[in-house]
Chains A and B, each alone.
Chain A
């Protein structure tokens, strides 16, 4: 059961990295203990964006190959990704409160872009929900996903510019200036947390994909079944009328 093993490794990794990040690494010189939330926050943020990239690429793949398995990958990426995005935003707010003094900072391009990413994800998933035919849904969702993905770097860039060109008073500097007391341990904590989260993400993706695959196979079976049933019904009718004499 290699997939289950993956899940176990991921879980163990997250726990280990959490312990390391909470208790072993010394607090940051600038931000103190508040900085610790950065480890899971950055990890989930990286996966939030990566997941959307997977969704967009799988969508393009579907448009190219018309293979519904790629659409299954796309929807998996979106559903798993939206969770990581929500967590990343929550983490960002929790981190922001002690450091900035507020939960939200408009001039932080990462926070605002991630919020928009969440909106794009939710829109994508809602859109999928409202379209019934699988082939149609896959093609249109792919297109929606691609355009949304293109938008993300634009949003990030423009918010950064927004901050850069703004001259007015700010409540707190949006940059969370870090001053790690033990740089090596800081890096280890960050990398290990990112790695562990990535494994968890991979596990969830595989599981979700398997689920989508099964759903699709059931659906496919049903569709083919309906066609065979129609044919059987008709061949009975043809058999009957043929006895009435051919033209």
Chain B
């Protein structure tokens, strides 16, 4: 359909714009990555020094670090629009609301993939994980998890962008919703790293995919209401 292609063009333009702004935004991106890596380090202090325990807990710790870094990331992407009231300007263009959502979620996805991609080797080093052979499964898990987080995060960042106490409201609203994603992503990562002894990897990836689809549809359908004043 013609409008679908127009939506895609709009979404892509928005994602590109965000990516450009992010990359030029000096230290913001790097700071978030460093923070997430720091969190992983701190987990080591909290749960160590028994390496075996850390290795067992590694999938969970990895995804927790991704979640924490992700919260900062999605908040930042919406803050781009808060400067100079650009969000209002964006909302006034004759474009579909769902295209705006798609664009911002796409930018979020990119940022989350970068985050995950950086943290994976950090986890491997700090917690003694052997990644060999698990790559396809890990990439799939990371991708599906990032999509879900971006879908939910973009929505809630839109909810909280101009609120009082938004720094605490974003995680407060978002984390309960993200619980199934966290659960499934950790289980899938665990299975992938362990060689999938029980054949459960497929099931968890399916759950992630289902979550992603539902949240993307919900976000796209409701984002327009968040732009109202």
Footprint of B on A, CB under 8 Å? 63, 116, 119-120, 123, 126-127, 130-131, 136, 139-140, 142-144, 146-148, 150-151, 154-155, 157-159, 161-162, 165, 167
**A155 B179 Cβ-Cβ under 8 A:** yes
Interface 0/1 of B194-229, CB less than 8 Å to A? 000010100110010011001100110010011011
Q: Is the interface of A mostly helix, strand, loop or mixed?
A: helix
Shortest 4 CB-CB contacts between residues of A and residues of B: A158-B180, A119-B176, A143-B222, A123-B173
Query: Are A165 and B173 in touch, CB under 8 angstroms?
Result: no
Query: Within the complex, which residue of A140, A158, A162, A167 is in contact with B225, where a contact is CB–CB below 8 Å?
Result: A140
Chain A residues with CB under 8 A of B187? 162, 165
Alpha-carbon separation in the docked complex, A63 to B223 (Å) = 12
- Cα distance A53–B175 when bound, in Å? 20
Q: How far is the CB of A42 from chain B (nearest CB, A)?
A: 23
CB neighbours of A147 from chain B (8 A): 155, 177, 215, 218-219, 222
12 of the cross-chain contacts (CB-CB < 8 Å) are A119-B175, A120-B177, A130-B169, A143-B222, A147-B222, A148-B177, A151-B177, A154-B180, A155-B176, A155-B179, A158-B207, A165-B187
Is the contact region of chain B dominated by helix, strand, or loop, or is it mixed? helix
Q: CA A143 – CA B158 in complex, angstroms?
A: 11
Residues of chain B within 8 A (CB-CB) of A165 are: 187, 198, 200, 203-204
Given contacts A126-B172, A131-B163, contact A63 B203 (CB under 8 A): no
The CA-CA distance from A165 to B204 in the complex, in Å, is: 10
Asked if B203 contacts A161 (CB within 8 A), the reply is yes
Contacts A155-B179, A158-B180, A159-B183 hold; do A150 and B203 have CB atoms under 8 A apart? no
Contacts A123-B176, A130-B163, A144-B159 given; indicate if A158 touches B183 (C-beta within 8 A): yes
User: A140 and B159 in contact (CB under 8 A), knowing A130-B169, A154-B211?
Assistant: yes
Complex Cα distance, B211 from A139, in Å, reads: 24
A123 to B169, CA, bound (A): 8
Q: Is residue B5 within 8 Å, beta carbon to beta carbon, of the partner chain?
A: no
For the complex, what is the distance from the CA of A130 to the CA of B200, rounded to whole Å?
42
Question: CA A120 – CA B172 in complex, angstroms?
Answer: 9
Cβ of B183 and Cβ of A123 under 8 Å apart?
no
Docked-complex contact A126 and B169, CB < 8 angstroms: yes
Query: Does B164 reach chain A (CB closer than 8 Å)?
Result: yes
Q: In the complex, which residues of chain A have a beta carbon less than 8 angstroms from the beta carbon of B36?
A: none
Q: A130-B163, A167-B198 are in contact. Are A155 and B180 (CB under 8 A)?
A: yes
Please give me the residue from chain B that is nearest to A139 by CB atom. Answer: B225
Select from chain A the residue with minimum beta-carbon distance to B152. Answer: A147
Asked whether B222 lies within 8 Å of A151 as measured between CB atoms, the reply is: no
- Residues in chain B near residue A144, CB distance under 8 A: 159, 173
Q: How far is the CA of A63 from the CA of B207 in the complex (A)?
A: 30
Q: B165 on the interface (CB 8 Å rule)?
A: yes
Task: Tell whether B184 is near chain A: CB-to-CB under 8 Å.
Answer: yes
CB of A22, distance to nearest CB on chain B (Å): 34
Contact B173 A127 (CB under 8 A): yes
